[in-house]
Amino acid sequence: MGLLSYVARRLALLGLVLLGVSMVVFFVLRGMPGVDPLAAYIAPGLPMSQDALASLRRQLHLDEPLPLQYVYYVANLLKGDWGYSRTAAQPVLDALLARLPATVELAVAAVLLSTALGIPAGIVAALRKDRAADVAVRVVSITGISFPVFWLGIILQLVFFYYMGQLGLPTLPSRGRIGDTIALIDPITPMTGLYLVDSLLTGKLAFFGSALRHLVLPSFALSLIGLAAVVRIMRASMLEVLRQDYILLARSKGLPTRTIVMRHALRNAITPVLTTAGTTLGILLGGAVVVETVFSWPGMGSLAAQGILNNDSILVVGFTLFVATMMVVVNLVVDLLYAVVDPRVRY
C-alpha cells in the first residue's frame, strides 16, 4: 500500500476520532445527570424572568431531543461558533486563538527542554545499566514526576526572583511573557504571535532577550512533567537496540563505543521518543493550565483557569475540545512524518 492511501486512511481515522471527541465533550456539556445545561450559559445570580429563560432555552435548542442537539452543536462548531465566554467577554474560539501563540511558545520550549535533557540522560542510563549513573538517573526522574508542578513553580519564583534579588544577584522574571517597560517603549508588530520569533524577525534583540528570560522559569517547570517519560522511553529503547546483532557486529569490527552509540544505535533508538512527542505535548498542554496560572502567563490555560473561577463552563469545555483537537492533529502529523522519514515503516 502506498503512502498516499496511508495518509488518506489516517485522515479518515482523524475524522472519526474528532467525532468521538466531540461526542464526549457534548456529553460533558449537556448529558451530565442532575445538571441543567442552561446554567452554563447564564452568569450565576443574574436575575432573569421565566419567560426569558424559556426563550433562551429555545434559542439554544436545549428543548430539542439530545441527538438533534448534538447535530446543532457540531454544526455550530464547524461554523466556528463555539459559544460566548463571559470570562474573556468574547467568543470562545476567538479568545482561545488570541492566546494560542503564548501557550504554543511555552509548550514547545518545554518539549524541547525535556527532550534535550531527557535524551542524554536516557542514553547514559542505558549505557551504564544498573550502575551508579543509571540509578542516579532513575532516582532523579522518579523525584521529578513526584513534584507537584504548581508548587515547584512557586518555589522557583521564590528562589530565582525573590531570594536572588535579596542577595543582589541577577534575577529571573516571575510573571508574564515580557517586561512592562520594553513592551511599552519598544513593542513589536505581532506576526506569528510567538514573541521569540517575531522579535527576531524584526531584529529587536532587547525584546527577544526579555521574552527569553521570561520563558526560562515557566518552561523549566513545565518540562519536568515530560522529562521522566522521555528518560524512561529513551533508556528502554536504547537497551533494546544495543542488544541487536548489528551492534554486536559493529563492536566486533572494533568501532569505538562512541561511534557505535552515536552513529548506529541512536538513530534507531530515538524514534520511540519522537513518536510519543504528540502524547507528551498533550500532557504538557494539561500542565500548562497550572503553570500558566502560577506564572501569570497570558495563554489559553490561564484563561481556562479563570473560566473555572467564574463558572464559565462554555469556555472550559471549549478549551478541552481545542486541546484535544490539537493533540489528535499533532499525533497525526508526527506519525506521518515518521512514515515519510523512516523507510522501514510499513503502512
Partner 1 sequence: MLGQLASIRRSTVATTGAVLFVAIFVTGAVAPLVIPASVVRDVAFGARLSPPSARHWFGTDDFGRDLFSLVMLAANLDLRVALSVVLGALLVGTVLGAVAGLVNRLDEPIMRATDVFLSIPSLVLAMAIASVLGRSVQNLAIALVFVSWPIYCRLMRGQVLSEKQKPYVKSLRTLGVGPARMIFLHVVPNTLFPVIARAPADVGLILITMAALSYIGFGPGPYVPEWGSLVAAGQTYIFQAPWLVVFPGVAIFLTSLSLNLVGDWARDVFDPRLRS
Stretch that binds partner 1, among 110-118, 210-218, 301-309, 336-344 (CB under 8 A): 301-309
96, 111, 269, 324: which one contacts partner 1 (CB under 8 A)?
Answer: 324
110 binds partner 1 (CB under 8 A): no
Contact code string over 113-142 relative to partner 1, x by CB under 8 A: -------------------------xx--x
Least Å distance, CB 133 to partner 1, is 16
Kindly provide the b/e burial profile for residues 200-222, where b requires at least 16 CB atoms within 10 angstroms of the residue's own CB: eeeebeebbebbeebbebbbbbb
- What's the CA gap between 301 and 319, in Å, rounded? 8
The site for partner 1, by CB under 8 A, has a size of 53
DSSP 8-state code for residue 192: S
Which 3-state string (H, E, C) describes 237-280? HHHHHHCCHHHHHHHHCCCCHHHHHHHHHHHHHCHHHHHCHHHH
Give whichever of 211 and 303 is closer to partner 1, judged by the CB atom. Answer: 303
Contacts of 226 (CB under 8 A, 6+ apart): 110, 111, 114, 118, 280, 283, 284
Helix 92-127 vs helix 277-294: crossing angle, to nearest 10: 120
Cβ-based nearer residue to partner 1, 56 or 145:
145
Q: How far is the CB of 200 from partner 1 (least distance, A)?
A: 30
d(Cα 233, Cα 274) in Å, to the nearest integer? 10
For cell 550502575, name the residue.
Answer: 131
Residue 92 within binding range of partner 1, rule CB under 8 A: no
Amino acid occupying residue 84 = Y
Is residue 147 a contact residue for partner 1 (CB under 8 A)?
yes
State the binding string over 24-53 for partner 1 (x if CB under 8 A, else -): xx--xx--x--x----x-------------
Does the protein bind partner 1 through residue 162 (CB under 8 A)? yes
Taking CB under 8 A as the criterion, the residue among 55, 143, 181, 192 binding partner 1 is 143
Q: Which is nearer to partner 1, 268 or 311 (CB)?
A: 311
Question: Minimum CB separation from partner 1 for residue 138, in Å?
Answer: 8
Using CB under 8 A as the binding rule, the residues of this chain from 171 to 230 that contact partner 1 are none
3-state helix, strand, coil in the chain (%, to 5): 75, 0, 25
Minimum CB distance to partner 1, residue 266 (Å):
23
From 91, 37, 78, 77, select the one nearest 60 (Cα to Cα): 37
Q: Which residues bind partner 1 (CB under 8 A)?
A: 17, 20-21, 23-25, 28-29, 32, 35, 40, 138-139, 142-143, 145-152, 154-155, 157-158, 162, 282-283, 285-287, 289-290, 293-294, 304-305, 307-309, 311, 313, 316-317, 319-320, 323-324, 327-328, 331
